Structure formats: structure tokens, C-alpha cells
Amino acid sequence: MNSFWTVVGFTLKNKFRAKAFLITTLIIAIIMTIGINLPYIFSQFNSGDKVSQIGYIHSKSAEDSATGDQLKAYFEAQEKSDIKLVPYEDKGSVSENEKQLKQAIADKDIVGYLQFGKMSENGFPEMTYKSEKLMAYESTSPIQSALQIIRQGTILHDAGLTAEQLALLNAPIEIATMQISATDGTTNVDDGKSLEQQAVNMGLVYLIVVLLFMAIMITGQLIASEITAEKSSRVMELLITSVSPLKQMFGKIVGMFLVGLIQVSVYVLVLIINVSLPHNNKLLEQFNIDLTKIDPKLLIFAVLFYLTGYLLFATLFAAVGSIVSRTEDLGQAVLPITMLSLAGFYISIFSITSPDSMLVKVSSFIPFFSPFVMLLRLGLTDPPVWEICTSIGILFVTIYVAVWISAKIYRTGVLMYGKRPTFKEIRKAMKAYKI
Amino acid sequence: MNPLKVEGIVKQYGDKTAVNGISFEVSEGEIYGLLGANGAGKTTTMRMVLGLIYPDEGQILYNGKAYSNNELRNLGYLPEERGLYPKVRVSDQLIYLGQLRGMSKKDADKNLKKWLDRFEVPEYYNKKVEELSKGNQQKIQFIASIIHSPKIVILDEAFSGLDPVNVELLKSTVKELRDTGTSILFSTHRMEHVEELCRNITILHRSNVVLKGSLKDIKKQFPKERVILNTENEITGLNQIVGVTNVVRHEYGYEVGIANEAVGGDILRHAMGQSTITRFEIKEPTLNEIFIKTVGGDSHE
């Protein structure tokens, strides 16, 4: 057991001494910090008074400019509008008006202007928005929706509705949802997960699934590439004559797991520190996250599936890493495992809105997918206990088998050099070695 | 009881027999030479001794006991293909390897410093392996195999890639280890090293043992077939003596091939009649010649 921890310690120490690792961690932490503070940084830049001014020709005689006035009144009535219409005096001729408005754009008084044509069937005149920008949807779409509301208001007003009736018509409708267990015997009315609880649980499931996937992809690759590197630098011959291969393999897996865990902890810490900065307080309130609403049972399952899922994939990565002799060949060799974890990840992520589909049910029993998918079911639905037990049982058996096979392959693979051995060669060689 | 006893081990890879019934014993404070051409089965034999591969037949005993993981601590191995972590500091990885073989960190550190001083390179303690020259990496590799003071050391091609000064340094270290009672299994292609270091040898050829025994006995088995003759004046008619197989003229004199030892006397008498003799020697066959004769002979088939 002693030399096992020596391997773990050595793995950890080397990783944290490696500049590449430290720099990567630092860069990701910085990107996270920037990402979290980005909304705040942006809000500092457009501090309120960034209003696009849009010009139009206001003439008392013409009917069309009434629309311009209506729009102006509408946007002024809005509490916080980033569009403001500015009337310009009618100069008498179209070309004169055009010139006047163009001058206004050149002077940066307005960003563009609306030109009205003849009356159309929809109750408004034909309109052209002219500006120096390409595809100026950000200006035209608020105008469009404003006109829609203006029209609605006019028609309803003409129909003789009172202001109260209007307000009633626009009042939002809400339905509360609660996720319950149909097989659960309790008759308590409040039993079940409220919307907030669901949201928090979904968030947790999402987080764990992503973390697990990241851990598998990053640390799995690291395990495989470190073993291959040890093999290609031939230090492996010294290692296997110093410590039993099984201890060596698991030392590496556990060491890498701790590396990943520490890395993730750093990120989580950065996240917490940044979110709890005073200027980001509002943000947190907006999302309405109450961490006390996490189901403790789900948390335990999350940790369990995280550990088992990691162990299962890590042993496979170690086995593959031990077969390959050169780092260049590694990418291709780990592809099947990567695909496997990718499949589990995607099934879980894409089924987050339909956690009761057949695909989810079936794949929650398939060992390579179950760490992702069963967790999804646990978080979002209430699967029967026997299904949970079966899934975990299958997973454990698979891990046992995977560990045994991986240890065998590892023992054999580390001494095989040259081209990537075929399955037949591995099987033949496996008989020659004892774990 | 000898620290290492190999009894008729056989190893087959599929249809191919890699090692076919090798037996030898290495006593305490002995350097045992394991010789053979490339692919003769030396590395496979060494790996079996190290417990990396299990022999199909036969057994290997360590102080009379069968292999177990505990034996790893008594074994030191210098692999033919050198390998250390290129980007890890010398001190870190050697202490690590020492710890893996059951040493405390402190002892490993102490031993490492002792050996670095012995090899006159104490400044490498904090260097990364990739910064060192190949010959110096070799020294570090050598330290890695003996840092835990093993009882049995297996040296595969110990002196390859070293300059003559460092070969002498390492050779004297190996002798020191021998004198402190370490059993050493030694393999090399440099026969003069074997003649200098080994008491007993085994020559392998195509998985089989072709020669085995003490160096002295082996040499006796081979007839003395060469005469070195240095004279002041030219000698003529050496070819005509019965039993002379060939005559090669060198800068310093003659090298004469003979069919048996008795011919030597005839050559001497013949030469004395013509000139003053400065040197006359009936040479023992060198191990190099013996090796080529036993192994090289039919490898040209």
C-alpha cells in the first residue's frame, strides 16, 4: 500500500510542477473570471444614455407623418427605451428633406431616418428606414413591434374597451408545475418537487454530467498519454521492476483523479468568488438559485455516479495507453472510448427535457452510459428503487470486469513495443504474464 | 545457498521458443556473464529473472525461495533500452524509484547523493534528465538501478555508449558492488569486459545454451591456434612447416595459424635459425574468437 501512495504522490507532484498544466489552469480561471464579469463590464459601457436617435420629417399637413408622431409618443411613454424619434421640419421638397436628414446623420445627431411613402392597406404608410448600417434590424424591429402595439391599441380603443378591460387582456397567465412520484404511496399534497427545486436539481444534474464528461475527457486523456509517455521513454521497464503493475496503474488513476479534482475545485472557487463579488449580487438574485433546495439524496447519487463513471473510463484509458507505444498513435487508439463517453454525455444532455423517454430508460442500464443517464433520471424523475439498484449493480460488475481486463492488458501492454498489437496478440501475450 | 538459481527455464512465444532450458547459478559476489548474439534470448531470460514474465517450464529461485513481489526490492535492473522521465529532475525521479523499492525518502536521498559524488557529478542533483548528455544519462540510469542497494543486479549492456574514461569508472563501480557481495547478472557484446569481470559465463545461441562454465575451463576446451612471432629480421619458409595453416605478416612481425600446440615448437626452431627472436607466444584463444566460433559460425547460413 505504501508504494501505491508513492505513485499517487509522484503523479500529483509532477503534474503540479509542469508549467503547461499550471498555465492552462490559470488561463481557464482567467477566462471564467472574465466570462462571469462580462455582463457587468458591458453594463458599464452602455450606461443608460445610449439611445439611438431616429429622424423623421414632421409636417402638419401630411397624414403620413402622424405615424412618426405616434411612434415618438410611444417610445417616450416607455420606461426605458433605447430608441428615440426626432422630428425634423419639412423643408418643402423631398430632395431638400433628404439632404437635411443626411446632414443630421453626418453630424451624428441621428443614426438613421424613417421615410414615409403612400398609405398602404395595413393602416400605415409605406416606410423605409435609411441608415449607414447594413441590416439594421436592431432599429427596425423595435419600430415594427411598436407599430403592432399602436395598431392593436387603436383598434381596441375603437371597439370601445375600457382601460381595465385592456389591462385584463394583457395580464400574464401562470401555471405552477410540480414533479411528483406516481408510485409513491404518500398522499401528502405538497409532496413532490416544486419548480424551484426542479430547476436546482436540473442545474445540479447538468453540472455533474458536464463535470464528469470533462473529467473523463481531460484526465482520461492525461492518464493514457502519461502511460504511453512512460512506455515510449522506456522508464516503464524500471517502473514495473520496482512496483507491481496493478499498484502502478491505480496509483496513476487515483493521482490523476486528485489532479482533476483539485483543478475543478480551483475553478469552482474562482466561480464562487466572482459570483459573490458585490456587483454580481444582482445577477445571482436574477437567477433565483437557492442552493438549500438541492435534494441531499441526489447529491449522494451524484458523487457516487461521478466516482464510478470516472473509475470505469479511467481504467479503460489506462489499458489503451499501455497498449500504444508512441504518443502519436494515442489519439486514434482512445477514439472508441472517447466516443463512448461522448454518447453517454449527449444522451444525457439532449434528454434533459424528456427524461422519461425510452432511450433514457434503456441507456440508464448500459454501464458506459448509466453514470450520465441514470443521474439524469434521478434528478429529473423519480425512478423506482429496483431500477436504481440494478443500474448501479450492473455498473459495479462492469467496473470489476474492466479493472480486471485493464490490469491484464496493462501488465501485458507495457512490455510490448513496436506496432500496435492486434487483439489476438494481446490475448496470446496475456496468458504469458501474471498480474 | 546461492542468491540466484535458474533451473531449466523454458519460454515459448507461440510457436517460437525464445529460451530453451537455461540453467545457471550466481553466487554471492560474483559477476555472471550472459552472452549471445542479438535475439539469442538474453533479454527474455533477464525478464524472467526479474519476474516480469513467467517461465513456461523450470523455476527461478531467489535465496532458495520462489518469486514473489517482495523480491522486487532485492532486484536492481539496468535495462538495455535506457529510460528515465525526460522532464523530471534527477533527484525527484531517483528518490521516487528508491521509494518504490521500499526505501525511506531520507535514505534514498542520502544514497543518491553518495552515488552522484562517486560518479563526480553532484551538480546533476537538480537537473532535468533531458538536459544531460547521453553518457551522463547513462550514469543516472545506473544509479537508478542500484540506489536501493539490491542483492541481485541485472545489467543489460551496461557500458554501451560510454567513453573509455566513464567505462572504467562504471567498471570499477561494478567491481566494487561485486566485492560488497552483490550478485550480478551481466550481459554485453564487449568480450574484453567479460574476460575482465566474469568468472562464469553462459553463451546463448538461438535460444539454446551452447557454452557454459567458468571462463578458464571454456578457454581450455579451445585449442591454442595462434602464434605471435616478433623477430629482428625477415623469416622465410614459415608456410612450409607442417601444421601451419596460415601466415599473416604484420608491422611488428608474424601471426601464424597452427593446427595444434606442438607445431609451435617447430615454428620457434625454424625462426631461431634465421633471426633473433624478440617475442614468441602461443596465444590462448580470446573470448571474442570463441564467441565468433560458437555463435558466428553458422549465423552466415
Q: Would you say the C-alpha torsion A302, A308, A311, A312 has a positive or negative sign?
A: negative
8-state DSSP, A218: H
The whole-angstrom distance between A251's CA and the closest CA on chain B is 12
CB of B77 less than 8 A from some CB of A:
yes
Which pLDDT belongs to residue B301? 37
Residue A153 pLDDT > 60, yes or no? yes
Name the CATH code of domain B223-284 (choices 1.10.1060, 1.10.3470, 3.30.70, 1.10.357): 3.30.70
Beta bridge partners of B230: B279
Domain B4-219, what architecture? 3-Layer(aba) Sandwich (3.40)
Distance CA A252, CA A254 (A): 6
Q: What share of chain A is helix, strand, coil (3-state, %, to 5)?
A: 70, 10, 25
CA distance A217 to chain B (A): 24
Residue A398 has pLDDT above 90, yes or no: yes
Q: For chain B, give every domain's residue range.
A: 4-219, 223-284
CB contact under 8 A, B81 and A234: yes
pTM of the shown model: 0.72
Cell of A192: 413532490
Least confident of A129-143, A172-186, B111-125: A172-186
Output the pLDDT for position B300: 43
Which of B155, B167, B129 has the alpha carbon at shortest distance from B42? B155
Lookup result for grid cell 454580481: A280
- Which one of A141-150, A224-233, B290-299 scores highest in mean pLDDT? A224-233
pLDDT of residue B95: 92
Q: Do A242 and B72 touch (CB under 8 A)?
A: yes
Query: What pLDDT, on the 0 to 100 scale, is given for residue A421?
Result: 62
Q: Does B87 touch chain A (CB under 8 A)?
A: yes
ipTM over 0.90: no
**Cross-chain Cβ contact A241/B69 below 8 Å:** no
Residue in the block written with cell 423643408: A91
In this predicted structure, what is the pLDDT of residue A277? 77
pLDDT higher than threshold 70 for residue A434: no
CB contact under 8 A, B86 and A244: no
- Closest Cβ–Cβ partner in A234, A244, A434 for B79: A234
Amino acid code (one letter) for A352? I
Q: A429 CA to chain B: closest CA distance, Å?
A: 8
Q: What residue ranges do the domains of chain A occupy?
A: 52-167, 194-432
Contacts of B167 (CB under 8 A, 6+ apart): B159
The mean predicted confidence, pLDDT, of chain A is 80
Residue A435 has pLDDT above 50, yes or no: no
CATH 3.40.190 fits A52-167, yes or no: yes
More confident residue, B300 or A83: A83
User: Chain A: nearest CA to B84, how far in angstroms?
Assistant: 5
A295 touches A58 (CB < 8 A): no
Report residues of chain B scoring pLDDT below 70. Answer: 297-301
Give the least confident one: A197-206, A324-333, B142-151: A197-206
Top mean-pLDDT range of A51-55, A286-290, B101-105, B275-279: B101-105
* Contacts for B209 with CB less than 8 Å, ≥ 6 apart: B21, B22, B23, B202, B203
pLDDT of residue A182: 61
pLDDT tens-place string over residues B235-293 = 777 778 877 888 888 877 888 888 877 788 888 888 888 888 888 888 888 888 888 88
User: Tell me, what amino acid is at A35?
Assistant: G
Residue A429 has pLDDT above 70, yes or no: no
